[in-house]
Amino acid sequence: MEQLNVTINGTEYRFAREGQCALPDTETLRETLHDRVPGIDLKRSCDRGICGNCTVLMNGKPVSACMTLTASCQGADIVTWEGLSPKEKQLCEIFKTNAYFGKHAAYISVRDLVMICIAQFREKGSPARVDFIEALNGNYGHCLDTETILELIGRYEESLVSVQLDGRPISERDDLHLENSGKVGAE
Amino acid sequence: MKMFTYERVKDYQEAVEKIQKASGQVSVISGGTDFLNNWKDQILTEYPEKILQLDQIEGAAGIKRVKVSAIISQCGSLSQENGTAWQKLTDVSGEEGVSSGVGASDEDAADGWRIGAETRLSELASQNEIPILAEAAGSIANEQIQNQATVAGDLFQDVRCKYYYHFTDFMGGCVTCNRKGGDFCCAMHGESPRHSVFWRYVYTGLTLPAGMSAWHEYPRLYQRNPERKYPEGGTDPA
């Protein structure tokens, strides 16, 4: 029986391609992740590959899940927002809590920014500023300018350094940036 | 939405055989981002029953240095020989030509580049030795789309006309214009001529800045309406 093998967030899934509950050929990856895989929340946003809300990492590269057919993902390794490591989730928190435009919080998804930044970190280790600027080109519809995004990435890198220094897990710390800057001032 | 069946081929020969054997209409995609948009918006009049994806064909992706002058000198003048010259060019630059030493990737003798049809746009964008093409590919859409879309798919993408992309859902339904089997062009007679980048006064709303696919479409459109009357000042490209 023909099957579709996909690794999603480290777990291997097998979808039937024949029979009564077969996965249709027309189904996109966003629909599959949202409807069939438990624990993944990937709502439909524009569904045209414009907004970047459904960005996932396929084999380490960011792609739009709404513009990918699931049938074409044979053997692919897919990582969603939910499958990031605790360290990488800290970048999500920094973006969520600091994505302000003037007084107003930017209540829009920053998933594409986070996923693209994490793809850069995973690929290059410590990417340069130019790498981020080039990779984020076309994703600036978030009321966030380049300097703000780079500043938030800088905070994330600072938090990584401080974790390596004192060894405490990142989830036990409330405000890494303030704590870190306080230490620097005391010294 | 009309459903389709999906298949991925590993070989050009296999793709040709499957297209010949198929009963209904078959569409060929490489990245698929352009086709999926048209399919979801329901802007077309005819939909394919089968989809063949070509992006995993062996040897079709990749950028390498080749000796272009040898290929061109064998082909002679492109303008004099017309169609046969292009056939020769593809024959010589193919795998057989590489093995016989004509298009071999010899670093010293190489004076040109060979870009595979199924090369992803992100791969071309990171090729710093061809700066103008890298910049052009890097300016397309965003990082996610560049990782999916291919060079051939970009050149053969559908027209970018506002009337052509008129949705079915509201305001009168999709427009059956010249490009979809009709006999009129909204970009020519509509409220705004700016939808047409090339050949506004000719007869079709070719709004695609990638000129290769525009030229590819001319013979087909010309045969469809051979006695078409052009507006004043218009010229016939054929």
- Predicted pLDDT of residue B187: 66
Low-confidence ranges of chain B (pLDDT < 50): 79, 81, 85-86, 93-105, 198-224, 232-234, 236-238
Pull the structure tokens for residue A55. Answer: 């960005």
ipTM of the complex: 0.81
What amino acid is encoded at A103 in this protein?
K
Determine the residue among B43, B143, B147 to mutate to test chain A binding: the one whose Cβ has the most chain A Cβ atoms within 10 Å.
Answer: B143
pLDDT digits (tens, 9 = 90+) for A99-144: 665 555 555 668 888 999 999 999 988 888 888 888 888 887 666 7
Least confident of A3-12, A21-30, B12-21, B219-228: B219-228
The more confident residue out of B147 and A170 is: B147
Q: Residue A10 carries which DSSP code? A: T
Q: Specify the 3-state DSSP secondary structure of A113.
A: helix
| Contact between A26 and B36 (Cβ < 8 Å) | no
Determine the residue among A72, A79, A111 to mutate to test chain B binding: the one whose Cβ has the most chain B Cβ atoms within 10 Å.
Answer: A72
| Contact between B230 and B188 (Cβ < 8 Å) | no
Q: Specify the 3-state DSSP secondary structure of B153.
A: helix
Nearest Cβ partner of A47 from B40, B141, B145? B40
Secondary structure percentages of chain A, helix, strand, coil, to 5: 45, 15, 40
Q: Do B144 and A47 touch (CB under 8 A)?
A: no
Q: Do A116 and B139 touch (CB under 8 A)?
A: no
Q: Do A62 and B143 touch (CB under 8 A)?
A: yes
Q: What would the DSSP string read from start to end of A116-171?
A: HHHHHHHHHSS--HHHHHHHTTT---SS--HHHHHHHHHHHHHHHHHHHHH---GG
The more confident residue out of B41 and A164 is: B41
Residue A79 is inside which H or E element, if any? Answer: strand A77-79
- Predicted pLDDT of residue A37: 94
pLDDT digits (tens, 9 = 90+) for A50-106: 888 899 999 999 999 999 999 999 999 999 989 999 888 888 888 877 766 555 555
Q: Do A61 and B147 touch (CB under 8 A)?
A: yes
Separation between Cα atoms, residue A26 and residue B4, nearest integer Å: 6
- A 10 A CB-CB count for A27 gives 16
Threshold 0.95, pTM exceeds: no
Nearest CA-CA distance, residue A139 and chain B, Å: 6
Q: Do B8 and A74 touch (CB under 8 A)?
A: yes
